[in-house]
Amino acid sequence: MITNPYPDCAALRSDPVAPADIGRLFGVTDTGMAGLPDIYAVMTFDAAHDVLRDERRFSSAVYAGITGPVMGRTILEMDGPDHHRYRSLLQQAFSRRAMQRWEYDLVIPVVDELIDGFADAGRAELVSQLTFPFPVNVIAGLLGLPRSDRPQFHQWAADLIAVTEDFDRALAASNALHDYLIGFVTERRTAPADDLISVLAQGRQLTDEEIVAFCRLLLPAGAETTYRSSGNLLFGLFTHPDQLDALRADRTLLPQAIEEGLRWECPLLTVVRLALEDTTIAGVKVPAGAVLIVHLGSANHDERRWDHPETFDIFRPQVPHLAFGGGAHVCLGMHLARMETRVVVNRLLDRLPGLRLDPEAIPPAITGTSLRAPTTLPVRFRLR
């Protein structure tokens, strides 16, 4: 298990783009890459930014073979007009007005209910008791699923999210989710309600299968990344108590704290693109058909852009990062993710005085070479 991949990333950034050392990037010995196309790692901010912005030279269609077997055809693998049409239809579900309603009608109640479960205990383990379950419950609420179904939905979500650990189990969960969700899509076509499925089902511009595929994609793309990013930010604050105290005293610091958490430890370290033509990136020749591993984590630690990039510092000057990707495929739910994280941090600080890491517990750590998050966050706090 690699706790910190960033020293290797710093060494690899000496070449902005280079044939990928998969074993070094992901901490594995058996890469299973024999016979595959040329693979290049894109490690610096400028190179990553350029690749993500250029749909003419670099395609997302490579995701058809990565996520397609489990998710179906989704926005991840679309390019050009198809992507623009699909994204425009989905974007209406994430309007500013919808975000404000979701915050007060759904996200705050979900977070408060979970905090209620441990607020009288004086201690908690925040990953299992809060940061992992809350985004899944938010998505269930957004989709308008019955509350009684949420435990089963949560289990399917956990199985689907763990696709890299047990593909067969994830595929079974995907099929079960399809059979479960398709009924709601059919129902919302004729009897719309106040939920995300109803928004997508109106007008018949999206097929039933496209709606189900998007709903399934929300679980790894929304729930998993949000639980990881909120956990990473909390870890950064808990391990830098002076910054936590400053935030506790001045909540106007929270937006920049969220951005620093995303930059410092983005939940998803890499995205993939396919070179559509012979081209040059940062002066390096890349052949058509090459697979590009765009390392968002390395790009966000580029010392050319940030001073002392390995340091968590909510007071640093803010410049844009790539935690949500970039270009046409920038994360559709990034404003929802930021809002959810803001709610979680505010409600924890509002309700749990003296919140800090539990000094008697094993110190937590952020781990992972593809997805990053702490596995535990043991905390103590004073009872009111």
By mean pLDDT, which of 34-43, 201-210, 318-327 is the weakest? Answer: 34-43
Across 34-51, b (16+ Cβ under 10 Å) vs e yields eeeeebbbbbbbebbbbb
Q: Sign of the CA dihedral 252, 254, 255, 256?
A: positive
Residues 130-146: pLDDT tens digits?
Answer: 999 999 999 999 999 99
Res. 316: pLDDT tops 90 = yes
What Cα–Cα distance (Å) separates residue 202 from each residue in 93, 255, 378? 11, 34, 44
Q: Give the mean pLDDT of the chain.
A: 92
Which residues lie below 8 Å from residue 208, measured CB to CB, with a gap of 6+?
Answer: 182, 185, 186
pLDDT of residue 228: 94
**For residues 204 and 67, is the Cβ–Cβ distance under 8 A?**
no
CA nearest to 106, candidates 84, 139, 71: 139
Tally of CB atoms within 10 A around 16: 23
Tell me the pLDDT band of 7, cut-offs 50, 70 and 90: very high
Cα(227)–Cα(374) distance, rounded to whole angstroms?
10
Task: Please state the rounded mean pLDDT for residues 264-289.
Answer: 96
Task: Give whichever of 2-6, 8-12, 64-68, 243-247 has the largest mean pLDDT.
Answer: 243-247
Contact yes or no for 226/340 (Cβ under 8 A): yes
According to CATH, what is the number of the domain 6-145+220-380? 1.10.630.10
Mean of pLDDT values over 152-157: 88
Question: Residue type for 187, please?
Answer: E
Amino acid 27: pLDDT? 67
What are the pLDDT digits (tens) for 99-134?
Answer: 888 999 999 999 999 999 999 999 999 999 999 999
Higher pLDDT residue, 170 or 380? 380
Q: Give the integer Cα–Cα distance in Å for 155 and 165.
A: 15
The rounded distance, in Å, linking the Cα atoms of 280 and 311 is 32
Express the helix, strand and coil content of the chain in percent, nearest 5 each: 55, 10, 35
The average pLDDT across 192-206 equals: 87
DSSP secondary structure letters along 345-378: HHHHHHHSTT-EE-TTSPPP-EE-SSB-EES--E
d(Cα 247, Cα 244) in Å, to the nearest integer? 5
218: CB partners within 8 A, 6+ apart: 139, 142, 143, 333
d(CA 301, CA 151): 38
User: Would you place residue 93 in the very low, low, confident or very high pLDDT band (cuts 50, 70, 90)?
Assistant: confident
DSSP 8-state assignment for residue 72:
-
DSSP reduced 3-state for 279? strand
Rounded distance between C-alpha atoms, residue 188 and residue 200, angstroms: 9
- Residue identified by tokens 């749909």 is 55
Mean per-residue pLDDT, 351-380 = 96
Q: In the prediction, which pLDDT does 1 show?
A: 58
Q: pTM above the 0.85 mark?
A: yes
What is the reported pLDDT for 238? 98
Task: pLDDT band for 272, please (50, 70, 90 cuts).
Answer: very high
Distances (CA, A) of 62 to 66, 71, 110, 330, 331: 7, 14, 36, 17, 17
